[in-house]
Structure 1
């Protein structure tokens, strides 16, 4: 069977939905964003260069769209979510929000809690937006949900052409710590 990899890689991002909202609450910080904008005021595309930002996310809204309502997890289950982002763990100094969707792509037939999801998230922050996408693996219904790493695929404003990764760890119910590693 001949597979055209380019056509699979070029599918629109909107075709990939983001799931498990408690798993995806990716965050960015206000002070580093403002500092990044001040680095190059001569350019309308001031960039964030090789920096690490730690943010804290709190799930604000989540809706699940199961393939089998009331049944077990299934391929195609979707979750849409929104989270508030903070610079501090105490939930003061709100700096933005995440909005995303996840779609279940695999469910272990022997353990329906063992799943994989593909997620797409937008981080709206002062000075621009970051787009992030990737896979989440493991027992997605566990408490706490598993940590994950996703790729930064681009951005707008001070995040124009951003690359790097986001690492997320659960720190409480509906709460995550996001370590954003931006490359230039």
Structure 2
């Protein structure tokens, strides 16, 4: 009886060791921080002109509330605001209707012939009077030459319905 118990204990010990080492091996192969060191860095500056925007309130159209949605489309121009180079399309959902408001947004930047960038993040203060505030969102991926893209997008309001987008891109 003792040899069977010893064999089972040895098998169990080997299985526990194998399972304990598996996450360590997996985490060693998924170093996402190294992408910034190994990838190609690029900064793209674009000007966006708001083309369409619709708000969809869920309760009262005169008072923003949690769950309200905004859907928009903007045309993208080169950094000199002369040549049209693409467009953005996105949706934002209000998550906080007090203190200036907060929205979580998902946006796609489409640059024909180059690909698309997927971006998401928070925008704060959109309910305050005056020009919309600046914001930073994260690049979550892309297509075409932007395949496996990472980085961020910084947006500044530069006029009525106009923003400057600075895309800090790692490929």
Q: TM-score, normalised by structure 2?
A: 0.73
User: 1:78 and 1:139 mapped to 2: Cα distance?
Assistant: 13
Instruction: Tell me how far 1:67 sits from its aligned partner.
Output: 1.6
Q: Does 2:116 align with 1:129?
A: yes
List alignment gaps of at least 5 residues for structure 1: 1-47
User: 2:107 and 2:86 mapped to 1: Cα distance?
Assistant: 13
1:100 corresponds to which residue?
A: 90
2:51 corresponds to which residue?
A: 60
Q: Does 2:158 align with 1:167?
A: no
Instruction: Tell me how far 1:168 sits from its aligned partner.
Output: 0.2
1:73 corresponds to which residue?
A: 64
Q: Say how many residue pairs are matched.
A: 132
Instruction: Tell me how far 1:156 sits from its aligned partner.
Output: 0.2
Larger radius of gyration: 2
1:25 corresponds to which residue?
A: none
Query: Is the 8 Å Cα contact of residues 140 and 146 (structure 1) preserved in structure 2?
Result: no
Structure having greater relative contact order (Cα 8 Å, sep ≥ 6): 1
Q: Does 2:167 align with 1:180?
A: yes
User: 1:54 and 1:119 mapped to 2: Cα distance?
Assistant: 20
List alignment gaps of at least 5 residues for structure 2: 1-38
Shift of the 101–139 alpha-carbon distance from structure 1 to 2, 3 Å rule, reads closer
Q: Which runs of 4+ in 1 moved over 3 A?
A: none
2:30 corresponds to which residue?
A: none
Higher share of residues assigned helix: 2
Q: TM-score, normalised by structure 1?
A: 0.68
